[in-house]
Amino acid sequence: MAKSSADDEELRRACEAAIEGTEQKIVLSIRVAKSHGIWGKSGKLGRHMAKPRVLALSTKSKGQRTTAFLRVLKYSTGGVLEPAKLYKLNHLSKVEVIANDPSGCSFTLGFDNLRSQSVTPPQWTMRNIDDRNRLLFCILNICKDVLGRLPKVVGIDVVEMALWAKENTPTVPKQMNQQDGVPVAATATESDLKVTVERELVSQAEEEDMEALLGNYLMGIGEAEVFSERLKRELLALEAANVHAILESEPLIEEVLQGLEAATCCVDDMDEWLGIFNVKLRHMREGIESIETRNNKLEMQSVNNVSLIEELDKLLERLRVPSEVKEKCTELEKLKTMFVRRASEFLRNYFASLVDFMISDKSYFSQRGQLKRPDHADLRYKCRTYARLLQHLKSLDKNCLGPLRKAYCSSLNLLLRREAREFANELRASTKASRNPTVWLEASAGSSHSSHNADTSAVSEAYAKMLTIFIPLLVDESSFFAHFMCFEVPALVPPGGVANGNKGGYNDANDNDDLGIMDIDENDGKAGKNSADLAALNESLQDLLNGIQEDFYAVVDWAYKIDPLRCISMHGITERYLSGQKADAAGFVRLLLGDLESRISVQFTRFVDEACHQIERNERNVRQMGVLSYISRFATLATRMEQYIQGQSRDLVDQAHTKFVSIMFVTLEKIAQTDPKYADVFLLENYAAFQNSLYDLANVVPTLAKFYHQASEAYEQACTRHISMIILYQFEKLFQFTRKIEDLMFTITPEEIPFQLGLSKMDLRKMLKSTLSGVDKSISAMYKRLQKNLTSEELLPSLWDKCKKDFLDKYESCVQLVAKIYPNESIPSVSEMRELLASM
């Protein structure tokens, strides 16, 4: 390496001035040709390059610890160096020369403390190879001396670097000497360095070994490239030999793979066995749980038996049987009365305590953000414990069951109403649906019609969920009550059966309604249907379930306010549940569903009546022109109603269709009568719009098909009247003349008609001349008159075709009549008139 020039010394002093105050010493400073260069695929330097920079290596000592830095300095606007970026060499992990730079002057430094792996490492391009080597040698020496380690070097030919190091002695700043207070830079030769580049890359012993190796190949130390190529070829040969050795060891590899496959099979078998053991253990756990459940029941039964025996012992102690027979009966009657009274009092308090316990626990009810399905399995289980006691009480005193039934109904009614109220409130609060306006057919609705497209299916789903949860619950409660309270009526459903039309039904888990009522005295036989018991049952069910309907009504009213058309789907849902309730014990549930169906029908009828009032309000508006707003909107309303039909709600929708269209047609006729001059145009446009908008629906809905045909007939009649008026207006003289002839033919012979006043041949010629001399202009005027008052341009072609056809028919009859009465007179033929009309 060449010694530092005066320019390098000046650059070093400028760098020291730039970092003054940092307590760092400059070891080497060198200019960079380009920094952060971008190299393309072709290996050429990119266009957009940063301004030249200066790289300076500096160290800072603090006690026994020395830190090395790589500083990047840039020139300011005034040409003064100033710090730009700082890298710590402690984190230097890699030095790599850019392979696609033909000059070899570009390199990158990799640091292990970059925050993101996607950040490009710093890259510089030196002015020449000597500058690059000076900088890299100095960095390697500092890393070795200060840090005690070397970074990874990539892309540098070691032999080439060694040769370059022998030919160049690097000059690096060693230390600063103070002479008369002025710092003087001292230089160090290669011998002064603790670790030279040559020693760092190739030691003396390694160099001797290398020379001996080169001697074996008859090469000198300067033939590095040839030696390198030779070593590459030998390396390739060694790699090929390794590959060959690997291929020869293929049988061993096959054995290893077979061993691995066998081990895999063993693992799979073990996994299968573990799965089998897991299933067996799960079955054992279920068996253990079942055994524990039965043990718990037996334990409770044992406790109850002990308590019962104790009570019976107490009764036996107090029991005194008189010697006389009559006194024995009296004493037994007193004992019976006392037993019935005390047992009834106990059961009343027991029912109340069960319900009070459930009402006091909020976890039994729906809460904010959580819908809770009512679960009465535990309640029924606890009540079922005293089913036999109730049967005994009935056999002792039938009248005692009345108060017990009322007490049970009163207590359970509070629970059911609380459950229904909390469930309905949370159901409405958790259902998100946009509200549809109730104004469908009013003219003032304007552009807000698009808001009717909001999806309100969540409303019907909420109502269906209410019925799905509570109707089976109420049916099950009615059935349980009928059995538990010893009513002699047929069972609602078999235990565990479906309580409604829904296949899922409502079933309490492991709920068995075998109350053991009928097996107390098997000789009594199976109880038949008892009308008195059925009436008493219905009265008790009224007490049991009364008031719960209000929560169902609240859901219906809420759904109506959001979207009145949802009454259609709710009606169908209610009808499906209603058709599933056939048993006697479900009497109140049938009444509840019937009331719900009636309320839904009333609400929907209210909507229909209001929509009809909206239609009738069009009658009071100022003169109407064109298609009325409710004509086109009805198609949208009818389509939406058809989409909501479920089950038996077809009749409800057909009734609404009939009422809507009847009011629409009546109102249309009334509005048309307010301006007779334009009545036919107004009618035909509206009837045509009605047919066009309902064409698809009329093909699938019989009720709408009937009104579609009615509108078609009214349209044809209005067209005929309007076209006849236009034809007569334009060719009035021609057809008046013809009409006079037709009237006279009833009283005189055709030969006498030409001699009548105003019907002579001369009169005929004058009439034809005045009427048909400019017939093309008259036809054009007829077309313009037809077009003048028509607001629906799409109807014009069909109306004009009909107008030409009617005119030709009238004209043909006129030609035939003239030929018959005036055989020698000429008149334009029908074919000529047809050709003229076709050209228009």
> b or e along 282-305 (b: 16 or more beta carbons within 10 Å of the residue's beta carbon)?
eeeeeeeeeeeeeeeeeeeeeeee
Which pLDDT does position 542 carry in this prediction?
83
Which pLDDT does position 270 carry in this prediction?
93
Angle at 348 between CA 347 and CA 354, to 5 degrees: 85
Asked whether the beta carbons of 698 and 678 are under 8 A apart, the reply is no
Tokens 């107008």 appear where?
803
| Average pLDDT score over residue span 119-148 | 82
Angle at 200 between CA 195 and CA 202, to 5 degrees: 135
Q: pLDDT at residue 60 above 90?
A: no
Residue type for position 341: R
Which pLDDT does position 276 carry in this prediction?
92
Q: pLDDT at residue 202 above 70?
A: no
CA distance 226 to 72: 39
| Average pLDDT score over residue span 536-553 | 85
Residue 117 binned pLDDT confidence (cut-offs 50, 70, 90) = low
Q: pLDDT at residue 567 above 70?
A: yes
Read off φ and ψ for residue 397, nearest 5 degrees.
Answer: -155, 105
Which pLDDT does position 288 carry in this prediction?
93
Which pLDDT does position 5 carry in this prediction?
63
| Average pLDDT score over residue span 253-269 | 90
Which pLDDT does position 504 carry in this prediction?
40
Nearest to 170 by CA among 359, 4, 383, 323: 4
Tokens 């009720």 appear where?
703
Residue 292 binned pLDDT confidence (cut-offs 50, 70, 90) = very high
Which pLDDT does position 616 carry in this prediction?
82
| Average pLDDT score over residue span 611-638 | 78
Which pLDDT does position 366 carry in this prediction?
79
Which pLDDT does position 87 carry in this prediction?
86
What are the pLDDT digits (tens) for 149-179?
A: 888 888 877 667 767 777 775 444 444 444 4
Label residue 498 exposed, middle or buried (CB < 10 Å: 0-12, 13-18, 19+): middle
Q: pLDDT at residue 266 above 90?
A: yes
Q: Which residue has the higher pLDDT, 599 or 448?
A: 599
DSSP 755-777: GSTT-SHHHHHHHHHHHHTTHHH
CA 588 to chain centre: 40
Which pLDDT does position 274 carry in this prediction?
92
CA distance 410 to 545: 9
Q: pLDDT at residue 273 above 80?
A: yes
Asked whether the beta carbons of 715 and 691 are under 8 A apart, the reply is yes
What are the pLDDT digits (tens) for 674-716?
A: 877 888 888 888 898 898 888 888 888 888 899 999 988 998 8
Which pLDDT does position 805 carry in this prediction?
85
Which pLDDT does position 284 carry in this prediction?
93
Which pLDDT does position 709 carry in this prediction?
92
Read off φ and ψ for residue 753, nearest 5 degrees.
Answer: -65, -40
Q: pLDDT at residue 101 above 90?
A: no
Least confident of 178-182, 205-209, 569-573, 680-684: 178-182
Q: pLDDT at residue 92 above 70?
A: yes
Residue 753 binned pLDDT confidence (cut-offs 50, 70, 90) = confident
Which pLDDT does position 173 carry in this prediction?
46
88 contacts: CB under 8 Å, gap ≥ 6: 67, 68, 69, 70, 111, 113
| Average pLDDT score over residue span 277-281 | 91
Residue 437 binned pLDDT confidence (cut-offs 50, 70, 90) = low
Which pLDDT does position 519 carry in this prediction?
38
| Average pLDDT score over residue span 737-764 | 79
- CA torsion sign for 141, 142, 143, 146 is positive
Which pLDDT does position 77 carry in this prediction?
78
Residue 35 binned pLDDT confidence (cut-offs 50, 70, 90) = low
Mean pLDDT, all residues of the chain: 77
Q: pLDDT at residue 784 above 70?
A: yes
